[in-house]
Structure 1
Amino acid sequence: MLSPKSAGTVRATLPAVAGALGEITSRFYTGLFTAHPELQRDLFNRGNQAVGSQQQALAGAVAGFATALLEHPDERPDAMLSRIAHKHASLGITAEQYEVVHHHLFAAIVDVLGEAVTEEVAAAWDEVYWLMARALIALEARLYEEAGREAGDVWLPCRVVARHTETADVTTFVVRPLGDRPVPAARPGQYVSVRVALPDGARQIRQYSISGFPEDALQFSVKRVAGDPAGEVSGHLHTAVEVGDELVVSVPFGDVTLADDDSPVLLASAGIGCTPMIGMLDHLAATGAQRRIVVVHADRSESTHAFRSELEQLVGKLPGAEAHVWYEHPEGPHPADRTGLADLSRITVPAGTTAYLCGPLPFLRSARAQLLAAGVPASAVHYEVFGPDLWQGAED
């Protein structure tokens, strides 16, 4: 994929570029938002920008892609690219925007590395960028085509037809497209983007997992993000959006989806990571699945466990399902061996299991390590991260 000349140059300069990527990405976003303030206002997550997680994710993606080109020159890192492509499609990214990114990214590289960026070095890293960009453009074009949408045109004006309080900080919204627009198809495990108009005029976008499959509607669940900065979109949805209001929602995207076969499946989550898992479980129950199903969930307590009763009901409908729930601080009688942090080494994982994980990074790392120790192949462990994916190399 990478030309021999460029491969040698990238290999020689990768340590220096990787070491400076933090500063490069910071200057990239500064330059990008100075020239295009509308992108910061209406496209990029301002909360992630404020804490630096978006910069870390971009740096990790660039370094990871370059490393993959060098270590596996005849392969394309499709797992990483697919995840990025789905996120981009959910935001309505178009091919023209890659030119804008290229301009400001390379300006930042030259600004940080100075004279070290010779013509040869610039050409080699330009090749890396466009290999990655063109692969993403092609993947995103296919996603738009599969969704039956023009490139970038992913938005549906919807009306909120139901709203349910799950816990003190988790609310479920059920929306239906306005007019005669059909409800877009969704696969268990996918998410939708929600675009809201905030008081300062910004139109910020966030992704929320599909947590169920009501007839003729889309259902997603939102945890109100506390802290500094607090979640401005989740806060707005919780306090300002009621039944009857309009919301702009994307068609569903996401590459971590439930395989449609009869093999055993393990759904492991922590906290709000339960939302895509309860959607998968809802689908399994609705289709009368006979496969072995192991559900693992970890939470702080019973009162913070969203979809607690739904989990019990859905598992009860599935003859091959079992559930294991851990609480760090149980509020009532709870088994001692299910108190504290989730420990997947304490459960029996059926042979041939495909595992799906969702939750905070420490949980994902621990759960994955325990599954690998139990003999589950790395290729059979899939994970979803809410927000920028900072878990580089998780699928090695």
Structure 2
Amino acid sequence: MTLTTDIHASAGTDLIARVDEIGDLITSSQPEALRLRRATDTVAEALESNGLTRMSWPRSRGGAQLSMLEQHRVLTALAGRDGSTAWITAIWTATPHMIRLFGNDVFNEFLASDNTRAAGVFSITGTATKTAGGYTVTGAWPFVSGQHHSGWVVAPAHSDHDDQPLALLVPRSAFDLAGTWDMTGLVGTGSHPLRLDNAFVPDHHAITFQNVLDATGRDARIDDDPYYGQPLVPIICALSAGPAIGIATAASRYFSNLIHHRAIAYSPHQIQAHAPNTAYQVAEIQALIDTADYFGTRLACAVDHHIATGEPWTIVERVRSRFDAARAVRLCRTACDIIDTASGATAHTRHSPLTILLRDMQALSVHAFLAYDSAAEQYGRVLAGLEPTYPIY
């Protein structure tokens, strides 16, 4: 094992310990986050002060620069406390990979700014008009998770200059809210839609969106750094599996305790755990979560392999990354559906921890980027020797 791997493992273990240290704070803040429909300021500050928003920062700039496997484990642990908290942390962990591609000057500007958390979206719903020194940008972007506590937003837009979609790095202060956040799951992510109206974005804060997908940076020194030279979709996908696995694991723990304290109505079983069918359900739930973690771990290790070796990604590998994440989420959703059915009305009690967990899983499982049918279709196509038909992979 190399010294670098030892450093990564040590830092990852330390951050998981910090999740445990602030776990009670995260859990106790959940009712207030549900009321506010965003993370509380206290939780956001705790994530920041404990280094959990800097998992993917360079170690030379105060970050952990964790391996992807360690990031997967940290996010799984966070989701065991609160799914919304894990999701916004995953966003804040992914965006530095994107911002690094804008060049060292822009990356240093970001790292030196007053607020170094950045939200990011994939929807190319804005329009950028070329003007002197940059672009004038107008548009609205939905589902901007973590925007409330972010200092920056990475938002894509269509360019009327050369018809190439752009990725834009814009201060959060330039945006206005464009609507409410009314989802029933992942309520605490504060994923309000945001809007820009004729906002100026300088040239150095714009690169082609394809460059972000392919990890082709503006600065050659960035291209030579394999940690920040990985295509974006595998990075995003590898950070998406942990939240789902953590939510499902927490729901399973709750259910395993619940079955010793409730009867099965209209049956002879006064203790649910004693019913033969319950044993099968518990076993199936655990098998589904274990299998989900296999896919999440495989994906994280694939990213780490490419970082370590510098080998280019094949199209099959890039498409498989989205499949692995979607498969993990689908398996976790299935586990939670069993818990939902087996828990009866208990799973639908307002503000019950189990209710919140199940709703968070339902919301995460319908995220368009993690849609299983789309991911499986593309993976099957490339395995059959056909070209992928979806543009983002």
Short-chain TM bin: under 0.3
More strand by share: 1
TM-score by length of 2: 0.27
